[in-house]
Amino acid sequence: MSYYDHFAELDFDRPYALPAADKQRLFLALLNELTAHHARHSAPYAKIIASLGQPLVAARMEELPFIPVRLFKHLDLLSVPRSEVFKTLTSSGTSGQSVSKIYLGRDNAAMQTRILGSIVSSFLGKQRSPMVVVDADNILADRRQFNARAAGVLGFSMYGKDIAYALDPDMALKMEALEAYCAKYRETGIYAFGFTFVVWKFLCQALERSNSRLDFGPGSILIHGGGWKKLADESVSNEVFKARLLERAGLRRVHNYYGMVEQTGSIYMECEHGHLHTSNYSDVIVRDPISFKPLPAGQEGVLQVISLLPYSYPGHSLLTEDVGVLLGEDDCPCGRMGKYFHVHGRLKSAEVRGCSDVRQF
């Protein structure tokens, strides 16, 4: 029996259906299996969790071993033979030069696609909708720049049809084409996808600058992700983001998602009440940013993200450098089961001082 056979217990059509008690039972069994697998097949991973004094078998979710997500920038972490690596995902992080390397086996990559589909479809519906990608129309053409953004566009494009790109290669809004597209599909319901800052800068602000409007229609939905940092720098809140997009582009339902290349697939979607949700495939624990002890709901800390998906690399339990707060579990007014939370931003990195500096002159 292969690891992913366990997923048969879960209903792909209902990715937010597991109540806490069932989830804890299933997750502990699967995650302990993953920990054992990774410790057996990744020597660095085994050494790391042994050195941290973390138990190999967790009796409670809080005991599950975790490693800092930054390690993927420094170490080659994989739990399958290199010959079984089907593709390698990379991402440049905020720390600049170093890049995360995520090694995917064929099964693992396929399951990422499947779970992403399960989650996204629960918002979009089963039928493929006409889709607008808010990005440059050549983003998939240039394979040399096939980065995390392009991978995201490709991944999310699987749930749309008759795909139109909102921007030209210079990131300018293709106004006429978009107007025609909206006119054609307004009543059908348009699915738009883009990276948060691209949507903000090249769709919303571009419309505002030219004092023009679009109407994606009453059935429209926007899914966006990739981080708030650039918008937070401009003090743009989620509420402002949504209000201005509604006003300028007529985008009715706007859903952010939180996710990272280290746990592709099991993303955390924002519900109708503005809460990010764990799914049947993911969990989150908020930890004290100094002692790393688990924190109850309502207290801000660093986020530990847990995913059932990572099998070819030891990424099932990661301590991120994102700060957030747990809001509750199984009782969000949207009706979805699972924990729901907010992300507040990045951990403030330690100051570099003294006579050596790390910034390039």
Write out the residues near another protein by the rule CB under 8 A: 43-44, 47-48, 50-53, 67-68, 70-71, 74-75, 289-292, 302, 319, 321, 323, 347-361
Q: CB-wise, 296 or 354, nearer to another protein?
A: 354
Q: CB-wise, 1 or 361, nearer to another protein?
A: 361
Please state, in angstroms and rounded to a whole number, the distance separating the CA atoms of residues 79 and 340: 30
Which residue in this structure is represented by tokens 């505002």?
A: 208
- In whole angstroms, the minimum distance from the beta carbon of 263 to another protein comes to 18
Structure-block tokens of residue 341: 């939370």
Please state, in angstroms and rounded to a whole number, the distance separating the CA atoms of residues 210 and 176: 13
Please state, in angstroms and rounded to a whole number, the distance separating the CA atoms of residues 32 and 28: 6
Q: CB-wise, 168 or 288, nearer to another protein?
A: 288
How many degrees, rounded to 5, is the angle at CA 271 between CA 265 and CA 274? 120
326 - beta bridge partners?
Answer: 341
Q: Please compute, for residue 240, the number of CA atoms within 13 A of its CA located in the half-sphere on the CB side.
A: 9
- In whole angstroms, the minimum distance from the beta carbon of 249 to another protein comes to 37
- In whole angstroms, the minimum distance from the beta carbon of 46 to another protein comes to 10
- In whole angstroms, the minimum distance from the beta carbon of 82 to another protein comes to 17
Q: CB-wise, 235 or 356, nearer to another protein?
A: 356
Q: CB-wise, 52 or 158, nearer to another protein?
A: 52
> Torsion angle, CA of 183/185/188/193, rounded to 10 degrees?
-120
- In whole angstroms, the minimum distance from the beta carbon of 350 to another protein comes to 4
Print burial letters for 235-252: b (CB count within 10 Å at least 16), e (below 16).
Answer: ebeeeebbebbbebbbbb
Please state, in angstroms and rounded to a whole number, the distance separating the CA atoms of residues 228 and 286: 19
Q: CB-wise, 48 or 343, nearer to another protein?
A: 48
- In whole angstroms, the minimum distance from the beta carbon of 262 to another protein comes to 14
What is the helix (H) or strand (E) element at residue 339, kind and residue range?
strand 339-346
Q: CB-wise, 49 or 206, nearer to another protein?
A: 49
Q: CB-wise, 62 or 208, nearer to another protein?
A: 62
- In whole angstroms, the minimum distance from the beta carbon of 44 to another protein comes to 4
- In whole angstroms, the minimum distance from the beta carbon of 161 to another protein comes to 43
Q: 202-206: which pairs have CB atoms within 8 A and are 24 or more residues apart? A: 202/134, 202/166, 202/167, 202/171, 202/172, 202/173, 203/134, 203/166, 203/173, 203/245, 203/248, 203/249, 204/241, 204/244, 204/245, 204/248, 204/249, 206/172, 206/173
Structure-block tokens of residue 290: 């100094």
Q: CB-wise, 86 or 292, nearer to another protein?
A: 292
Strand, helix or coil for residue 170: coil
- In whole angstroms, the minimum distance from the beta carbon of 241 to another protein comes to 27
